[in-house]
Structure 1
């Protein structure tokens, strides 16, 4: 079934019909019923979108930053006006529990407002005296040009907006390519873009699969790429951008640790562990899915976490009490089930879950699972699962615990549990990760979010995230007179 009668791709301020014969079915992960059929845009569609963005790049970049920011705030307002529809769409296409998806429009609007608030400071006059000769230098920050934004399915609105806001404030027109599994919220976002009064061509949308994304990455008029997704795909995009000498931001995977110190408060762990490790049914790149605990308290903490996870409701994502919904697709469900089988085969003990929920014949559901007796060499301890699976590893001394936390090629996130925040902060210095929480995990739109090692390149959030869309130019001047 077609998604609607509007059109296939959003280019130069209007919906257009695509010439592509390829279509992708969008499936409700709770019922397995088809929701829509969306075009997989071809190279001609991508070319039209990029050229539309490039045609307005000079004018948008020359628009005063205060005006760009005013329009970004207008976009925030239009997103808020569509909050209920966006919430329903996210839950319908992704299976995100409504208790989670209901926050997405508000959070997206807040992020846009923050970008608009802080962005102008980057364009303030920056004059630097020359310490070695007469004269000074005017340092300018100029928009890079057309930005390609490629986003995943797990947060269909939020992960677009964290790229879109900085790009627009910086003065870069964009072409958005959302995940093939979850294009509907992105299509709704275009309605908000139009209502906000953003000039035609500043925001464009093409839907599709990896071939669509590849066409965007390789287009010669695209000046920068921002990608969130798997490390494997990120490597490929990084290689292509490297050949083109094109800036790229890669926010990739993780296998993040939650390190429990020997003085940790069990009530704090109980209160935080679901959000820290299994938010959005475990489909979160920064989820801390390796719970590293002192062996002296292992039994206590395993029992505690098992109680919390087993008590969290699984079911209809439209029920506000539901914490665990379905996974996004049959492919993702089967992938996670494969990791559960691997855990069993390698000798891990499922103290909670370990398979598929009883009595659910429809929907891409997997039991929330806590594995004990996990060793560092097991696949469930080393590879990103992207599902509701938590692996418990034990340590005997703090040095061993820190070593286990760092025993991963990734470096995205971490959490440290301790009653002593000063001690936890001292341990945080030893953890190789881009973002670390103490006794909880969250992110801050004003602070940089950056993965280390196999978790990516570049920065999102904060002034640093806006700077990723800017190029520096130094204009050297002789003394006047």
Structure 2
């Protein structure tokens, strides 16, 4: 049982304003594994004030990019040294299989911070351009105080994707973690101390929706960086629009994997757990909408069904587990509700569809495959965020592209083919922010984000630095 009774504000551990607490519950055992203070609006006020003081009157925005990069590099080393502990902790909090936590949950945070530490030397922080009236100095300056609001599915990676570029830019940050994963941010607080992050530059307050909305509305916040549901993103975007504050929004997805007629089906099936079902299906990039040619539809359905039926479901701390529990009872109810919707819509369950036998505890749902589905069905259009795969038939390549684009979202996708050049041509026709040919993965060196309801702006890569910078043009005469 990990218990914390303080919040990380102004470089110190401070008592919360109220007595409320957040109980972190294991999705495997349904037992409490930790408790932290439940941040209130008053706590958010203190955190924003500390960040405001650090930005407006502290040295951080005025240090050189190289000095800030050195701090990020020390943060990254801390993450590398504690990666095993972080992987196990995140698995305990939200049920991600330990193998995935060791592969991605902890290492991606380290890689992201390392990337932004290295980007400092490759960024033109100031340049002089010829102007109509004389030389113009174009300066990049930090945007100010940033609110970083993250969900529970890949918590430390999503924090790193925001604080990495924000700190490099010279901003001060208030991080609001999700209540479900409120324990792992305390490791970040230790890392900040060890790396020498100045007081107030990084503040961490876990809390619920009330505290989150208060943070978004706070007049001391200059930019909001949010990852989460499209519904919440719309509300945050509307609030920031009213305030004329910046907002970068990484939202939901309903990504398609296009299996072309010439695809090596065995190769696709081998990657299925890391495309359609990674992180128990609780991933915005999950390509759980499989588009299969009618000529091979039965073959694809049978292959997907067979592989999903062999996935090892169980204790997420067991290295052999491939599918762990969902994060909460509420999330399980949501996924089970979509399985019921799929059946009512007329789709056919080929495997799964219930709760695993012999598991009386834990928020488990059987990995499930739907066949005989149409692209207009809710299970093919709405983000389920669980281990549910929907296989939809298409007529020809043009039809496959049309179906892939027939979505409110546009975050990710992949195409599987024996001809990589053909795959690249298909990828260019699909309206999605990230795509793979015979593969899919997030690369911290390149921009990540989506079209349409999948969000506004980009994270990662050099493009991920832009939301945290303001541009100033200075014209000089004489």
- TM-score, normalised on structure 1? 0.97
The alpha carbon displacement at 1:379 in A equals 1.3
Q: Provide runs of 4+ in structure 1 moved above 3 Å.
A: none
Pairwise CA distance, 1:428: 1.2
1:183-194 matches, cutoff 5 A: 183-194=182-193
Contact 2:289–2:390 (8 Å) recurs in 1 = yes
Q: Does 1:111 align with 2:109?
A: no
Distance in 2 (CA, whole Å) between partners of 1:8 and 1:333 is: 31
Tell me whether 117-126 or 414-423 shows the greater mean CA deviation: 117-126
User: Aligned partners of 1:325 and 1:67: how far apart in 2?
Assistant: 41
Gaps of 5+ in 1: none
Distance 1:109 1:331 in 2: 31
**2:307: which partner in 1?**
308
Matched, 1:201 2:213: no
Give the equivalent residue in structure 2 for 1:12.
10
Which residue is 1:219 aligned to?
218
Q: Distance in 1 between matches of 2:175 and 2:242?
A: 22
Trace 1:44-443 onto structure 2 (pairs within 5 A). Answer: 44-58=42-56, 59-103=59-103, 104-130=105-131, 133-443=132-442
Q: Secondary structure at the match of 1:390?
A: strand
Deviations 1:190-238 (A, max 9, x none): 1111111111111100011111111110110111000000000000000
2:343 aligned counterpart, secondary structure: helix
How many Å separate the matches in 2 of 1:105 and 1:450? Answer: 21
Q: Deviations over 1:408-466 (max 9, x none)?
A: 11111111111111111111121011111111110111111121100000110011101
Q: State the alpha-carbon separation in 1 of the partners of residues 114 and 81 from structure 2.
A: 15
Aligned residue among 29, 32, 36 for 2:30 = 32
Judge which range, 115-124 or 406-415, deviates more: 115-124
Provide the rounded CA distance (Å) in 2 between the counterparts of 1:415 and 1:441: 6
Q: CA deviation at 1:134?
A: 4.1
2:456 maps to 1:447: no
Residues 119, 463 of structure 1: 8 Å contact kept = no
Asked if structure 1 preserves the Cα contact closer than 8 Å seen for 2:5 and 2:36, the reply is no
Distance 1:84 1:405 in 2: 38
Moved more, 404-413 or 106-115: 106-115
Tell me, in whole angstroms, the C-alpha distance in 2 between the residues paired with 1:178 and 1:20. Answer: 18
Q: How many aligned residue pairs are there?
A: 475
Structure 1 residues 242-267: Cα deviation after superposition (integer angstroms, max 9, x where no partner): 01111100000011111111111112
Shift of 1:60: 1.1
- CA distance in 2: counterparts of 1:470 and 1:179, whole angstroms: 26
Distance 1:462 1:31 in 2: 38
Work out whether residues 314 and 321 of structure 2, in 8 Å CA contact, stay in contact via their aligned partners in 1: yes
Contact residue 412 and residue 450 of structure 2 kept, 8 A: yes
Listed as ranges, the gaps of 5+ residues in structure 2 are none
**How many angstroms apart in 1 are the aligned matches of 2:126 and 2:226?**
31
SS of match in other structure, 1:416:
strand
CA distance in 1, matches of 2:343, 2:414: 26
How far has the Cα of 1:22 moved from its partner? 2.8
Deviation at 1:119?
2.7
CA distance in structure 2 between the partners assigned to 1:341 and 1:125 by the alignment: 57
SS at match of 2:384: coil
Instruction: Report the 3-state secondary structure (helix = DSSP H, G, I; strand = E; otherwise coil) of the residue aligned with 2:297.
Output: helix
Deviation at 1:44, TM superposition (A): 1.1
How does the TM-score come out when normalised to structure 2?
0.97
Q: 3-state DSSP class of the match of 1:410?
A: coil
Q: Please give the secondary structure, in 1, of the residue aligned with 2:215.
A: helix
RMSD over aligned CA atoms reads 1.2
Q: Are the equivalent residues in 1 in contact too, given 2:126–2:140 (CA < 8 A)?
A: no
* Conserved? CA contact 1:146–1:221, under 8 Å: yes
Per-residue deviation, residues 373-412 of structure 1 (Å, max 9, x unmatched): 0112221111100000010000111111111111111111
